[in-house]
Amino acid sequence: METFIAIYIFMLAAFTGLEVISKVPAILHTPLMSGSNFIHGVVLVGAIIALGMAETNLEKTIGFFGVLLASGNAVGGYVVTERMLEMFKSKKDNE
């Protein structure tokens, strides 16, 4: 049953993703790509769990790199997106 619940979640999340993006102007393509890049940085949660439960040295080593890479994804993704979207502010405030 768990599996079917997961399938429903996959399906609904996919439709949500399509819906959210459907009417986006071209100028936002790059920031939006960057923003969604940040959102899959949630892989950090999984990496922490994987490393947190790792037992052997091999598991710990791989898990360590997992957490390192994942936090890079999340932090880098956030800063880059924020900087890019900051540009949209300066325009308005200048007016």
Partner 1 sequence: MSSLEIIIQSIYVIAAVLFIVGLKRMSSPTTARTGIVWAGIGMLMATIATFFYPGVENFALIAIAILLGTIIAGYTAKKVEMTEMPEMIALYNGMGGGAAAAIAAVELFKDHHLPVSVTTLALIGGIIGSISFTGSLIAFGKLQGMVKGTFRFKGQHQINLLLLLGTLVLSVLVVAGFDGNATLVIMVFVIALILGIAMTIPIGGGDMAVVISLYNALTGLAVGFEGYVLQNYAMIIAGTVVGAAGTLLTQLMAKAMNKTLISVLFPFGETTQASGDAVEGEMKPIEAGDAGIMMAFAQKVIIIPGYGMAVAQAQQKVWELSQLLIDRGVDVKFAIHPVAGRMPGHMNVLLAEAGVPYELIFDEDEINQEFKSCDVALVIGANDVVNPIARTDPSSEIYGMPILDADYASNVIVVKRGQGTGFSGIENVLFFLDNTRMLYGDGQAVAADLVNSIKEL
Rule CB under 8 A: say whether 90 interacts with partner 1.
yes
CA distance 66 to 17: 25
Site for partner 1 in 49-88 (CB under 8 A): 49-56, 58-60, 62-88
Rule CB under 8 A: say whether 8 interacts with partner 1.
no
Q: What are the CA-CA distances from residue 10 to residues 5, 25, 43, 45, 68 (Å)?
A: 9, 26, 16, 18, 27
Rule CB under 8 A: say whether 93 interacts with partner 1.
no
Rule CB under 8 A: say whether 33 interacts with partner 1.
yes
**What does the block give as tokens for 18?**
């399509």
Listed in sequence order, the residues at least 6 apart from 31 whose beta carbon sits closer than 8 Å to its beta carbon are 81, 84, 85, 88
Rule CB under 8 A: say whether 18 interacts with partner 1.
yes
Rule CB under 8 A: say whether 95 interacts with partner 1.
yes
Rule CB under 8 A: say whether 4 interacts with partner 1.
no
CB of 8 to partner 1, least distance (A): 11
